[in-house]
Amino acid sequence: MRPWQVRERRFRPSRFGRRGLDPQEVHEFLDRVADDLAAVYDALGTSRQETARIKDALRGWQSEQAQRANAGARY
């Protein structure tokens, strides 16, 4: 679920004569949940970028090591 989906979620009003939830309280809660979800998605994106950076660095290092090993084997 995405933050915008939480923010846009609406609930049917309670039927006439029945008690229900305070709509303002529900909307405030949904906004807090959406903010938390947005923070989680931001952290996940940052983590994915860092993972990609580390993978690229590792590939580069492995390539250098393979080149050194190949150069050493020639002599």
Cβ atoms of residues 50 and 16 within 8 Å? no
Residues ≥6 apart with Cβ < 8 Å to 34:
3, 4, 6, 7
Closest CA to 24 of 37, 40, 13: 13
Residues ≥6 apart with Cβ < 8 Å to 21:
11, 14
Tens digit of pLDDT at every position of the chain (75 positions) = 788 888 888 887 777 666 788 888 888 888 999 999 999 999 999 999 999 999 999 999 999 999 999 987 766
Q: The pTM is what?
A: 0.64
